């Protein structure tokens, strides 16, 4: 018997087609087309207020786009109904720009919440995993603290730990390292690389930290507020040295004369 050697082409975990996003009547970004491959670490880059967080929130299905299609692992999150959406979202881990920790819950309970709601873990397993995530973020001993008793950087790390709670296949980080000291920020980069190594997760993040971009990103999508679109796409090194747009080169080399 002959085996079929032709592998089916792997579906990209994120495919965006003709996407236009905005609020009300106001268009923030338009006609976006891109595809993110499995295991890629992609950075959304652009000036403040150009719509990075907006794009991220649309990709994870929080807002309906004005136009276009978003496919997550081959399934449309735009037309999905409530149950399908929940299913698609079950492979997401999201760390929001402001942390978005639940103030009524302790740090440990915050990290445990996704496991209680989405996972099939016993109480002991949850406890163990929470400890493990806390250790990963160097937050041992803070499990019983309330979010209001933490510093800004610690809140970010807890949010990061919560996003990792279910070891999701798709991770979205909105400025995970903003407000962290350089060493902690570097530690975060190591964690991101380690996660990709271990679980093969696809990661989309927003960050302005150049060292972090060069260390972890395979690819940068450069957004522009004036063009309301993606103006360049490529590896950070390539964009810095060879981009045809001066603004992109300047952005990545932090030198406006470049």
Ligand X SMILES: Nc1ncnc2c1ncn2[C@@H]1O[C@H](COP(=O)(O)OP(=O)(O)OP(=O)(O)O)[C@@H](O)[C@H]1O
- How many residues in the shown chain lie near ligand X by CB under 6 A? 11
- Binding-site member from 94, 158, 205, 213 for other proteins (CB under 8 A): 94
Which one of 44-52, 124-132, 139-147, 148-156 is the stretch in contact with ligand X (CB under 6 A)? 44-52
CA distance 210 to 153: 18
Residue (57 or 249) nearer to other proteins, CB: 57
Q: Is 185 in contact with 214 (CB distance < 8 Å)?
A: no
Q: Is 177 in contact with 188 (CB distance < 8 Å)?
A: yes
Strand order from edge to edge, sheet including 26-36: 26-36, 14-23, 67-72, 75-76
Q: Rule CB under 5 A: is residue 208 a binding residue for Mg ion?
A: no
CA 86-13-223 angle, to 5 degrees, is 100
Residue (108 or 251) nearer to Mg ion, CB: 251
Mention every residue, 6+ apart, whose C-beta is less than 8 A from residue 84.
75
Q: Which of residues 145-184 bind Mg ion (CB under 5 A)?
A: none
- How many residues in the shown chain lie near Mg ion by CB under 5 A? 2
- Binding-site member from 11, 27, 118, 245 for other proteins (CB under 8 A): 118
Phi-psi region of 4 (alpha: psi -120 to 50; beta: other; left: phi over 0): beta
Residue (53 or 67) nearer to ligand X, CB: 53
- Binding-site member from 1, 6, 104, 183 for other proteins (CB under 8 A): 104
Q: Rule CB under 6 A: is residue 49 a binding residue for ligand X?
A: yes
Q: Which of residues 116-175 bind ligand X (CB under 6 A)?
A: none
Q: Rule CB under 8 A: is residue 49 a binding residue for other proteins?
A: no
Residue (50 or 192) nearer to ligand X, CB: 50
CA distance 51 to 57: 10
Q: Rule CB under 8 A: is residue 60 a binding residue for other proteins?
A: yes
Which one of 91-99, 205-213, 220-228, 243-251 is the stretch in contact with other proteins (CB under 8 A)? 91-99
Q: Rule CB under 6 A: is residue 51 a binding residue for ligand X?
A: yes
- Which DSSP category does 71 fall into? E
Q: Is 72 in contact with 78 (CB distance < 8 Å)?
A: no
Q: Rule CB under 6 A: is residue 221 a binding residue for ligand X?
A: no
Mention every residue, 6+ apart, whose C-beta is less than 8 A from residue 196.
39, 41, 203
Q: What DSSP assignment string belongs to 14-48?
A: EEEEEEEEEETTEEEEEEEEEEE-TT-EEEEE-ST
What's CA 143's distance to the chain center, in Å?
24
In this chain, which residue has its C-beta nearest to Mg ion? Answer: 53
Residues that bind ligand X (CB under 6 A): 23, 28, 46, 48-54, 97
Binding site for other proteins (CB under 8 A): 57, 60, 62, 86, 89-90, 92, 94, 96-104, 113-114, 117-118
């Amino acid at each position: 018997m002959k085996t079929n050697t032709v592998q089916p082409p792997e579906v990209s975990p994120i495919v965006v087609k003709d996407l236009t996003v905005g609020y009300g009547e106001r268009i923030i970004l338009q006609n976006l087309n891109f595809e993110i491959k499995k295991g890629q670490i992609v950075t959304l880059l652009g000036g403040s207020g150009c719509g990075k967080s907006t794009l991220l929130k649309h990709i994870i299905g929080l807002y309906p786009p004005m136009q276009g299609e978003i496919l997550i692992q081959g399934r449309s999150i735009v037309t999905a109904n409530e149950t399908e959406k929940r299913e698609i979202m079950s492979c997401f881990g999201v760390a929001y720009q402001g942390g978005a920790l639940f103030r009524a819950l302790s740090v440990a309970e915050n990290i445990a919440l996704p496991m209680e709601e989405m996972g099939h873990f016993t109480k002991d397993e949850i406890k163990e995993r929470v400890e493990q995530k806390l250790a990963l973020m160097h937050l041992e001993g803070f499990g019983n603290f309330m979010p209001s008793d933490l510093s800004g950087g610690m809140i970010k790390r807890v949010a990061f730990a919560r996003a990792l709670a279910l070891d999701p296949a798709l991770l979205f980080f909105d400025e995970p390292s903003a407000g962290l000291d350089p060493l902690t920020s570097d530690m975060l980069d190591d964690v991101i690389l380690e996660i990709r190594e271990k679980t093969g997760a696809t990661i989309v993040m927003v960050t302005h930290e150049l060292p972090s971009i060069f260390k972890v990103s395979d690819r940068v999508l450069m957004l522009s507020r004036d063009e309301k679109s993606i103006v360049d796409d490529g590896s950070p090194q390539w964009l810095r040295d060879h981009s045809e747009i001066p603004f992109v080169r300047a952005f990545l080399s932090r030198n406006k004369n470049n």
